[in-house]
Amino acid sequence: MKRILFLSFAFISFWSSGADPKYPVSEIPEEMKKDCYAVVRESEDNFEIFSLGRTVRRVRKVVTILGKGGSPYAFFSEWYDKDSKILSFKAVAYDAAGQVIRKLKQSEIRDQSYISAGALFDDNRIKSADLAQATFPYTVEFEYEKEIRFLYWIP
């Protein structure tokens, strides 16, 4: 009985020991990594029109940062105002093996005025996240969903 219990526990522990790596750096061909600081792994930008008064834009970007020169890609921001609203904003960092090393909580995502403090009145705001890591390479994944209330333009 003890042996069956032990084997069952060992199997469950092994089975749930970790998720499959999502973006391992080893999957990037060597010729793409040569002489560059960052590699864009995925870039999606979807724009859905529900009516003239409601559209939703969904953006997802995955970038592997290979060296210090690629560090600006670890920062991501999106603006909004009284005519738009950010419905969701997610940011995740992965190590070289593709395992999650940091997942930003909503409280860690900065939300601030778009214009400096010198402005008397401003409705424009910006949400931003910084996933810079000390060791290279690493991968960042940013994703947001933004509702636009009036259709002035199509991105």
CATH of the domain at 138: 2.60.40.3140
Query: Residue 66: exposed, middle, or buried by beta-carbon count in 10 A (0-12, 13-18, 19+)?
Result: buried
pLDDT tens for the chain, 155 residues: list them: 444 444 444 444 444 445 688 999 999 999 999 999 999 999 999 999 998 889 999 999 999 999 999 999 999 999 999 999 999 999 999 999 999 999 999 999 999 888 766 555 668 899 999 999 999 999 999 999 999 998 776 66
- Report the distance separating Cα 94 and Cα 41, nearest Å: 13
- Report the distance separating Cα 71 and Cα 58, nearest Å: 24
- At 80 the pLDDT is 93
Establish if 84 belongs to a structural domain. yes
- At 67 the pLDDT is 96
Establish if 12 belongs to a structural domain. no
> What DSSP string describes 47-80?
EEEEETTEEEEEEEEEEEE-SGGGGGGGEEEEEE
Establish if 56 belongs to a structural domain. yes
Contact 144, 77 (CB under 8 A): no
Domain span holding position 111: 19-115+122-148
Establish if 67 belongs to a structural domain. yes
- At 52 the pLDDT is 82
Q: Number of folded domains in the chain? A: 1
- At 53 the pLDDT is 87
Establish if 13 belongs to a structural domain. no
